[in-house]
Structure 1
Amino acid sequence: MSLGNVKRGDTPHKFNVIIEIPANAGTIKYEVDKDTQCLTVDRFMKTALQYPANYGYIPETLCGDGDPLDVLVLTPEPLVPGCVIEARPVGVLRMSDEAGEDAKLLALPTEKACPMFANIQDLADVPELVLAQIKHFFEHYKDLDEGKWVKLDGYGNKAEALAEVEDAIRIYHEKN
């Protein structure tokens, strides 16, 4: 099955996330090619940092940078690139870069998939160290890339994350 056939899911409270980069992987940045829907190597990051959570996107969404809504999925184990996981939002990291607004949703697997995180329902429930690690990564992962920059605008709670999902769905429908 092509990753292009994966549907958004039961949004905004539950949605499918296509994982591109596993948590704690090296500096390799995978990306699903928009034309072929194949997982490809986009580049090797120049900084010696690794993604602090599984990184992917919600299909059938669109954001200010022209890409689908990015999602960081916190799990007890790294996920395989190209897999699909049903997730639920708990917060959002507001940021922008040289391509435009680029919010990152913070999500967890559904309780059915991973009951160990059932007690985490909103951003305030996420451990401070985890939030600090995510913030640190995104503040610095483009530091050695000429002409690239990142500006963080802080975290938002679950209600703001839900609004971000709804906005990305609306933009997707306007453009398609």
Structure 2
Amino acid sequence: MTSISELSPYDDDGTLNVVIETPQGSRNKLAFDEKLGLFRLKGVLPAGHSFPFDFGFIPSTAGEDGDPLDVLVLMDAAVYPGCLVPSRLIGVIEAEQTERGGKTERNDRLIAVAANSRVHETIKDLGDLSGPLLDEIEHFFISYNEAKGKQFCPKARRGHTAANRLVEAACRKR
């Protein structure tokens, strides 16, 4: 039996593996605790805030912050924490995040579409999303971090090619 921590970033057919931590609509921020092998409540968003889409990570990767790469997954309905969702990358919001103590580091947000999504099946690249939806996604990450006393500063929006390069680099760091 393979544990979540041992999953490959990609399936045999090249589809991206994403493990969902926090379902769409949730105010609870959940995070996989690799040492315990379970999901831990990491925080609660303020009233009126919730995750706009399912949020998770790509197993067997390491980002600039040392954690697995984060992914927001567009799909037709929310799934449960721990669900493996085959996905395709459509882009990335490149960003810097500043902690309370002033430490700033790169903390990009990958965006993917569930491979089985009917609603989003025609979306192949970040440019296929409407500008207002992208603005809402960025605003969510800005306000989410603000509520935690952090600053999230989007620097650029890039398509699936740049996003795939980030995943490849994160696989090598692991």
TM-score (norm 1): 0.86
Give the AA of the match of 1:65. Answer: D
**Equivalent residue number for residue 156 of structure 1:** 158
Residue aligning to 1:101: 106
Distance 1:170 1:73 in 2: 23
CA-to-aligned-CA distance 1:5-50 (integer Å, 9 cap, x gap): 433224895211000001121x211000121120111111346421
Alignment partner, residue 120 of structure 1:
123
Deviates more, 1:113-122 or 1:64-73: 113-122
State the shift of 1:162 in Å.
Answer: 1.1
Cα RMSD over matched residues?
2.0
Q: Determine if the alignment matches structure 1 residue 91 to structure 2 residue 94.
A: no
1-structure distance, mates of 2:153, 2:78 = 27
Correspondence list, 1:23-172, <5 A: 23-25=24-26, 27-46=27-46, 48-97=48-97, 98=99, 100-110=105-115, 113-146=116-149, 148-172=150-174
Consecutive unaligned residues of structure 2, counting only runs of 5 or more, are: none
Of residues 122-131 and 74-83 in structure 1, the stretch that sits farther from structure 2 once superposed is 122-131
TM-score (norm 2): 0.87
AA aligned to 2:24 is A
Answer whether contact 1:47 1:144 (CA < 8 A) is retained. no
Could you tell me which runs of 5 or more consecutive residues in structure 1 were left unpaired when the two chains were aligned. none
TM superposition shift of 1:144: 3.1
The one-letter code sitting in structure 2 at the alignment partner of 1:36 is: L
1:117 Cα deviation from its structure 2 partner: 2.6
Write out the 4+ residue segments of structure 1 that deviate beyond 6 Å after TM superposition: none
CA distance 1:166–1:116, shift in 2 (3 Å): same
Q: Say how many residue pairs are matched.
A: 168
